[in-house]
Amino acid sequence: MASIVSVVTGQLRHMPAGGLPHDIFALGIASKIRIDRNSTAMASSDFGRIVEAAPEAVLHPATPSDIAAFIRFSASSPAPFPVSPRGQGHSVRGQSLAPGGVVVDMPTLGRGHHSRINVSADYVDSGGEQLWIDILRATLEQGLAPRVWTDYLHITVGGTLSNAGIGGQAFRHGPQIANVEELDVVTGTGDMVTCSREKSSDLFFAALGGLGQFGVITRARIMLEQAPKRVRWVRLAYSDVAMFTRDQELLISKRASEARFDYVEGQVQLNMTLAEGPKSTPFFSEADINRLAGLASQSSSAAIYIMEVAMYYNDTTASYVDKKLEKILEQLSFVPGFVFTKDVRYVQFLDRVREEEEVLRSAGLWDVPHPWLNLFIPRSRILDFDTGVIKGLLGGTNPVGVILMYPMNTAKWDDRMTAMAPLAGEDMFYTVALLRSAVDASDLEILEGENEAVLSFCDKEGIECKQYLPHHKSEDGWKQHFGTRWSRIAELKAKFDPHAILSPGQRIFPSPH
Ligand code: FAD
């Protein structure tokens, strides 16, 4: 029996491999099951490059029915085995792996003859395996587009909807999961169910943000809006975090004037990174970086803050975009003169991280470990977090990567869905994403140590943070994550995946192997 080796921060752990029942190859879809090393190796790791675990096999489904037949087989076998859908494998902690089981290679679903992206007037029906960039291209042909985007578009619909799907438009429209009208889901018993807010709603709400625990999303109906043609893309520098957060909150609040931005995010730039990091970026020229480094060197703190905002426009509104922008900028308190503006096509704006990916790839800095930590922090504690973490704990190394910090409106999150927002009863919360890469083994150790220290800091200071794209090592961690909703989550798991077959890489429920 093959053994599976998991590599977590340099420590080797051996997990028993279960082996699959022999009669699996008598299934009608046997020709779509691969057990060769090339296939299993491809499904053994993820973007994080921290955890490795080989599956016994990989299923390449041609249709959702193939997935259903396969899951039914596992669920009815005397020894059910784990099954994990894998989109692009862009998780960072092995969430799409299936140690001792079978990975379902979702992208194969989209390689058939029929298009699995169908655009209507108000919505697009998309296969769960489709990439957001392909949805963008298809919808733009009709002058339409989804309303909320993740920063990176080369990830799948099923992968982001299993988490939440957040970005700079979420303050207005909620996360991507709040913009879905209907799903097709294959449950952990192999049933194919169409669900919505009205029909089989418990499965609909469970699957959205459901970390792959309740079923495989094979189709999502996603709301659309008229697409703009162009984007005025602006970055504003702040040396004072209180001004930075005050302005961000103003821009996402109902108090903001009619002339609002369509996208609001923000980044923290550690002074050290500005001084010693890249000389230019796809957005900032060398001269811009020098100015920002100068600003940072005058500031007494360890960081400066860059608000990133965008205003959409098209042919009819082009004449007033400058006026509108001017009017909003007058209300804000960035450092005078530190306004950086670009004017780009809508696609170029949405697909901006691809350009950064190319830069990192060519520098050999893309395929490296990514010990990312994403947190949701209650609004009332963001300045404490900034003092203790950004200005306090970080800075043991000078890593490649970014730190995002931006607020969202709590009311846009539907707490019937599985995704967790902070429950502190506040109208806004922040996402703080420590998206740092480890260039060598010592970096990884330092960054992992800093991540642990950040979580302990929040715990000690009573900051009720929630992990986004969560990773918990124990059932207690998950119970704490879901809080009072834990028993409901366990109930839904027992209903839709009674053998705990699905997405074992999340390590929420004990898997059959
Ligand atoms: P995978 O990693 O393949 O899968 C993730 C989980 O979902 C696994 O548990 C898997 O079993 C399950 N799953 C996959 N497909 C399905 C399906 N069809 N049905 C049910 N379960 C399924 N996220 C944001 O919200 N906002 C961002 O701005 C953002 N930016 C990112 C930038 C980069 C460069 C990267 C690498 C990631 C970013 N993410 C962001 C995180 C991303 O949304 C998640 O990692 C997402 O899971 C990736 O999708 P995937 O297709 O690679 O999923």
Q: What is the DSSP string of 136-192?
A: HHHHHTTTEEES---S--SSBHHHHHTT----TTHHHH--GGGGEEEEEEEETTS-E
Q: What is the pLDDT of residue 257?
A: 56
| Encoded tokens for 119 | 């655009």
Instruction: Read off the pLDDT of residues 260-303 as tens digits, 9 standing for 90 and up.
Output: 899 999 999 988 888 888 889 999 999 999 999 999 988 878 89
* End-to-end C-alpha distance for the chain, whole angstroms: 13
> Ligand 1 center to residue 92 CA distance, Å?
9
- Check pocket membership of 419 for ligand 1, CB cut-off 6 A: no
Q: What is the pLDDT of residues 196-222, one digit of tens each?
A: 999 999 999 999 999 999 999 999 999
Mean pLDDT across the chain: 92
Lowest mean pLDDT among 18-27, 213-222, 234-243: 18-27
Q: How many CB atoms lie within 10 A of CB 462?
A: 8
> Using 50, 70 and 90 to split pLDDT, how confident is the model at 342?
very high
- What is the token pair recorded at 257? 């004037």
Whether 8 has a pLDDT exceeding 80, the answer reads: no
- pLDDT for residue 15 is more than 90: no
Judged against a pLDDT cut of 70, whether residue 171 lies above it is answered with yes
Position 13 scores a pLDDT of: 30
Using the structure block, give the residue that is written with the tokens 């004072």. Answer: 240
Q: Interior CA angle at 269 toward 267 and 273, to 5°?
A: 145
Match 């504690």 to its residue by tokens.
381
Indicate if the pLDDT at residue 113 is higher than 80.
no
Q: Catalytic annotation on 151?
A: yes
Length of the chain: 513
For residue 397, the model assigns a pLDDT of 66
Please report the atom of ligand 1 found closest to the CA of residue 131: 51
CA dihedral sign of residues 134, 188, 91, 513: negative
CA-closest candidate to residue 238, choices 198, 193, 269: 269
Q: Which of 105, 265, 308, 497 is catalytic?
A: 265
CA triplet 381, 382, 388: central angle to 5 degrees?
Answer: 90
Indicate whether residue 374 lines ligand 1 (CB < 6 A): no
Distances in Å between the alpha carbon of 225 and those of 147, 160, 243? 6, 19, 33
Rounded Cα–Cα distance for residues 214 and 468 (Å): 18
Mean per-residue pLDDT for 167-179? 97
Please enumerate in sequence order all residues whose Cβ is within 8 A of that of 328, keeping only pairs 6 or more positions apart, or say none: 251, 257, 259, 260, 261
Q: What is the pLDDT of residue 396?
A: 64
Tell me how crowded residue 396 is: count the other CB atoms within 10 A of its CB.
13
Closest CA to 479 of 491, 471, 487, 467: 487
For the question of residue 265 being annotated catalytic, the response is yes
Cβ of 504 below 6 Å from ligand 1: no
**Whether residue 95 has its Cβ less than 6 Å from ligand 1:** yes
The whole-number average pLDDT for the span 412-439 is 92
ipTM: 0.99
Helix (H) or strand (E) holding 289: helix 286-298
Q: Is the pLDDT assigned to residue 132 strictly greater than 80?
A: yes
- pLDDT at residue 1 is higher than 60: no
pLDDT category of residue 91 using cuts at 50, 70 and 90: very high
pTM for the structure as a whole: 0.95
Ligand 1 atom at minimum distance from 165 CA: 25
Q: What share of the chain is helix, strand, coil (3-state, %, to 5)?
A: 35, 25, 40
Reported confidence tier of residue 256, pLDDT bands at 50, 70, 90:
low
Q: How many CB atoms are located within 10 Å of the residue 483 CB?
A: 11
**Ligand 1 mean position, distance from CA 248 (Å):** 26
